[in-house]
Structure 1
Amino acid sequence: MADQMHFRNTSLTRTAIAALLLCLSIQTFSACTNETAVKKTTGGYSYVPPVPAPTPVDSRVQNYSVTLLDGGGSKFADLIGNDKIVLVNFWATWCAPCRREIPDLVNIQRELRGRGIEVLGLTVEDPGRDLDKVREFTQKYGINYRIGFSPMEMFMAVNGKDPRGVIPQTYIFDRKGKLIDSARGFRRDFKDWVLAVVEQAEKES
């Protein structure tokens, strides 16, 4: 069935996956604040690139088709790169930590769009069942960036060897589509981290 996937050789429905993600998101609300990539200095924040460099996203991810909320669809490979720095945020309407990030994402899109930087929000919900709910949610929260639906198989491929499937997750790609850095779970310094990563990417581009 289309709404089923195999996870550690067990067939799970999207509902079961959603419940798992919800539990993990709650658990990581204060625990998964991976803030090692940014250090405080007297002048504010300075970016410390991850060591070793981030492992490239599984090549299979590039070929997955993403259903877009504003209509149509596109391969993931066509949504990143193209001479733009793209912040990809995996989320869901029921995820409390994800909702906390939305104001920052809205501000980032508004403040940085003129510099060739875009935010792409990919919900792990089902477009066949949750399209209207997601559309109403984006209107309620004033979301000004592109929204799409990530196939569950694509989301799990992005997670690679880490099967936890925690959300929110954020991946920042440079202008050529190369992964620069990522964050799993909610982090208190989210916007500062994003701005620092983007600044580093601009220096290298």
Structure 2
Amino acid sequence: MKNLISKILLGSTVLLAACGNPQKANTNQGEPNDAKNQSETISAQDGLSQEAADKTVMFTDFTIKQEDGTEVSLSDYVGKGKYVLVDFWASWCAPCLAEVPNLKSVYEKYKGDNFEILGVAVWDKTKDTKKAIEEHKIPWPQILNAQKIPTDLYGIQGIPHIILFGPDGEIIKRDLRGEAIPKIVEQLVK
């Protein structure tokens, strides 16, 4: 019986840490920074929450040097007049890859003048990210080799972590997953 309980606890620990930050495996899971502390919520049924209406948290920019030597910034996409769904992910993260079909559906339905998806590969090797993009036929733009820069800025402890930014760059919703994604996008992108 003790052995069974030990196996269950070990299995639970592995599952919970499956897509956590490999560089922060033993850190406190508290509220790491202002971006996380001030995240707003929007309910598909209720619209903008009072908390979100009372304060606006803007995006924090970062710039990443790509493999070819060019630099790409979050501000190349966010704050340009479109809603942007930013997917922080890695090729080795099974839950991240499980979100791809859902994101593809949203991308195909809403891409255009008012909506974009951006992938930001974190905690991953560029060659592995490129392979996953090709294998899963991911059509939206990507920032490769971001490592821990954006996750530190946004207090992201685990992935996938999907953030919806408004046209002016305000954070509308953090940690979107599954069916919540098309619901909120449909509500906002008309």
TM-score (norm 2): 0.67
Note the C-alpha offset of 1:98.
Answer: 0.7
Computed over aligned residues only, the root mean square deviation of the Cα atoms, in angstroms, reads 2.9
Identity of aligned residues (%): 25
Matched, 1:158 2:159: no
Note the C-alpha offset of 1:72.
Answer: 2.8
Cα distance in 2 between the residues matched to 1:84 and 1:70: 27
Matched, 1:199 2:189: no
Aligned length: 153
Equivalent position of 1:121 in the other structure: 119
Alignment check: 8 A CA contact 1:171 1:183 kept: yes
1:135 to 130, 135, 147: 130
Cα distance in 1 between the residues matched to 2:49 and 2:64: 28
Give the partner amino acid of 2:22.
A
Give the partner amino acid of 1:110.
E
Secondary structure of the equivalent of 1:125? coil
TM-score (norm 1): 0.62
Equivalent position of 1:52 in the other structure: 51
Cα distance in 2 between the residues matched to 1:119 and 1:91: 13
Alignment check: 8 A CA contact 1:89 1:170 kept: yes
Q: Which runs of 5+ in 1 are unaligned?
A: 1-15, 22-35, 39-44
Higher strand proportion, which one? Answer: 1
Equivalent position of 1:80 in the other structure: 78
Secondary structure of the equivalent of 1:155? helix
Matched, 1:178 2:173: no
Question: For the structure 1 residues 166 and 17, does the alpha-carbon distance in structure 2 shift closer, same or farther, using more than 3 Å as the test?
Answer: closer
Alignment check: 8 A CA contact 1:170 1:182 kept: yes
